[in-house]
Structure 1
């Protein structure tokens, strides 16, 4: 979601727009942009695009001056979960749906606000190896048998919840899939002002992400 209009500009050579975080930072302190780490620049763009305009100068000064005295927001594009922690969060959402239904509300209205990508990669126990050409197939069969109930629930969440994407077991480890398949690097989003491009950001629930 984009909320602000200041510093929004056409992206030359495209039909897209972008938020000029460099301009916002330089207005506060000329020359400061060149001193910011790349991660801080991504964070600055996030603030320029989403933060309360009245608070934006103070937020940006935290980055420029490397200060920590003022809390400031961050709006990640997506949340990347492995199956252990991701499943726990989805169980909580399913329980919330039950509670909403008991009170006469619409349980389908309970969904993650930020898109969630759940990658099943924390269940495999390698029992067949060595030179067995069928080792992968055998290990996957063992994994499915041991996790039948859990995998069934995860598959249900993929269909039941909006904003949930599931990468099933057997596709690789979470940080590899995140880098190679899940991240678009640059997101393009439609809003009331047109199409806006901005850097991908995520919260990850494993140490590598």
Structure 2
């Protein structure tokens, strides 16, 4: 999956979801990689955190190579829920990265380990609580407004993190490649002096919108074969 995502980006995948009518499920703003430039793409391995790492160790027992551990810590800002030992153990289990709806710690060690970790940021204190575990602890993870399961694929880069249902991944990636190719061609033409306004026949769009206020630029782009919004 990471190879398929190698020449794409989360913005391209997001645009492809919109174009294909696939639910757009993005992690909340602020979720980013501990180390810049890291990328993730793999099946979601969901887990809910209740104050102890035991649930992570249990989740690793069901990991397949390339899975991405998706940790639901409720977006908490008062504790870090994952650190160096949990990430080291993830690597031994074949996990390709971690995405945390919350905070991490042991930043220098995580940088040295090198396994991609995405979170809201770092915070020294770990948990001092132990909450009651839910039956769904290893079945699904909440991440912002979204519910993530093993039927989802996780994509992450410097722009953020997306969750896409595995059933739609092939079509979404194919659409993302087409959008990428169109945008690359448009960028080359802009560099050669062919403005984006001319490429997209923007004057014609304005004329038609004047006659039909409901006519959107997105509709126009699809008619002329351009790409910039999705």
Please tell me the TM-score bracket, short chain as reference.
under 0.3
Say which structure, 1 or 2, has more relative contact order (CA 8 Å, 6+ apart). 2
Return the index of the structure with the highest Cα Rg: 1
TM-score, normalization by structure 2: 0.23
